[in-house]
Amino acid sequence: MTPMIIDGKTVSAAVEIETAARVASLRARGVIPGLAVVLVGDDPASQSYVKMKERDCERIGIRSFDSRLSADISQADLHDVIDGFNADPHVHGILVQQPFPRHLDVEAVVARVSPVKDVDGFHQENLGRLMRGLPGHRACTPWGVMRMLDHYGIELKGKRAVVIGRSLLVGKPMGLMLLERDCTVTYCHSRTVDLPGVCREADILVAAIGRPMMIGAQYVREGAVVIDVGINRTDAGMVGDVDFAAVAPICSAITPVPGGVGPMTRAMLMSNTAAAAEIQTA
């Protein structure tokens, strides 16, 4: 079987065109959408993500406010930076790049961001809204996966979805979004017994584990749709959580790495920022 390639570059370009049009209408009524990107420390991967986000903003017409903070910043000083952006009417979205240094309390930082400006969708209010089926900012990576599935017309209702990974950034919200669309959802993680067997039940398999090429053919049922959220830097370059060459011949559709889910996360961040500006200036 030759699978359909779910191309994140195509879908993210479509999202970007929509976002740019929304930004243009905001600007036409005097609102310049603003995104504050906070980076603590000098993790090279985070630095490159943050740079790409700033470039996206520039291309789309979003003003970016850049805050690079020293790795040894105190919790209180970081809260002051966030409070400043919370109070700034030119800033509609705030993103504190994760992971950050271990001495900082992640929960307190995430909770400090004003929920209306939490374009990451990580704040408990936004996660609670997702859980309750209410509108709110949705986490960019799983929200981007939903957008890709819809772009390619992949039927979700009644399908068995298996999510491998239970992180707050991806796995947990991913399962809730699939549930909201009437999938029958199973969460798997490092303690799951017979992981390959559970995964083989999936019509839609989402791998968000962070282990290079872990998901081989024995995890995939013939005809399944496979979504690879992994971004693993190895000596051989960037690889996903899925062994693409082994899995592609079995499945009906699959995302590549790079060029799959990766570009979607940033596109959905820009879309969330436009939405944040619309809501705050309505």
The DSSP 8-state label assigned to residue 200 in this structure reads T
Residue 119 and residue 235: Cα distance in Å, rounded? 33
- The two structure tokens encoding residue 3: 């699978």
Element housing 206 (H / E): strand 204-207
56, 117, 118, 120: which is the annotated catalytic residue? 120
Q: With respect to ligand GUN, which residue has the nearer C-beta, 10 or 98?
A: 98
Q: Given the rule CB under 6 A, which residues bind ligand GUN?
A: 95-98, 120, 140-141, 169, 265
Q: With respect to ligand GUN, which residue has the nearer C-beta, 98 or 280?
A: 98
Output the smallest distance, CB 41 to ligand GUN, in A.
Answer: 13
- The two structure tokens encoding residue 80: 């002051």
φ and ψ at residue 228, rounded to 5 degrees: -105, 110
- The two structure tokens encoding residue 56: 């996206």
Q: Would you call 231 exposed, middle or buried from its count of C-beta atoms within 10 A (0-12, 13-18, 19+)?
A: buried
Output the smallest distance, CB 50 to ligand GUN, in A.
Answer: 9
Output the smallest distance, CB 275 to ligand GUN, in A.
Answer: 16
Tell me, yes or no, if 97 is annotated catalytic: yes
Output the smallest distance, CB 39 to ligand GUN, in A.
Answer: 9
53, 117, 159, 172: which is the annotated catalytic residue? 53
Q: With respect to ligand GUN, which residue has the nearer C-beta, 98 or 192?
A: 98
Q: With respect to ligand GUN, which residue has the nearer C-beta, 143 or 219?
A: 143
The answer to whether the beta carbons of residues 272 and 138 sit under 8 Å apart is yes
Q: Point out the residues that are catalytic.
A: 53, 97, 120
